[in-house]
Amino acid sequence: MDDIIVIGHSFGGRIAIKLAATCNRVAGLVLADSAGIRPHRGLKYYLKIYAYKLRRLLKLKTADCGSSDYRKLSGAMKKTFINIVNEDLSGIAKNILVPTLLIWGSNDIETPIYMCKKLNKYIAKSKLIVFEGAGHFAYLEQSGRFIDLVREFANGVI
């Protein structure tokens, strides 16, 4: 089996970061609007958390609490989800030694642009490209450009 280039978007980026940091078969990495950097959290976030905990304590309905992804889960999967989304991969990202292409939408609110700037800083051989006006699915919004960039990147890596 030849070395591979791993591409990860959003949650898949978390997996790609861990794989690229630990697997010697990865020749290159492409992260598109990737998760993995702990988000800045304001007062609103913490109020939601404490409101949820209070509702649970008072045995009130909590089915409408949390993100839509969280609400779809049950039992142990909810706990796993919480652990995963709260894991900061900054330290692991610093161990990535392969060429890395970061592609981000300038208007991504799920994984904001400050996250890719941190990844760009942590990953020594990374290059950042921002798709102006694109959101969290920049690779779909500008798919032709994305494919061209990945093809060019792959040709330079392999």
- Residue 158 reports pLDDT greater than 80: no
The pTM is what? 0.84
The parent domain of residue 76 ranges over 43-84
- Both 152 and 122 in one domain: the answer is yes
Q: Read off the pLDDT of residues 8-57 as tens digits, 9 standing for 90 and up.
A: 999 999 999 999 999 999 999 999 999 999 888 788 877 888 888 888 88
- Both 93 and 31 in one domain: the answer is yes
36, exposed or middle or buried, with CB in 10 Å at 0-12, 13-18, 19+?
A: buried
Q: Read off the pLDDT of residues 109-119 as tens digits, 9 standing for 90 and up.
A: 999 999 999 99
What's 139's domain CATH number?
3.40.50.1820
- Both 34 and 92 in one domain: the answer is yes
Domains in the chain, number: 2
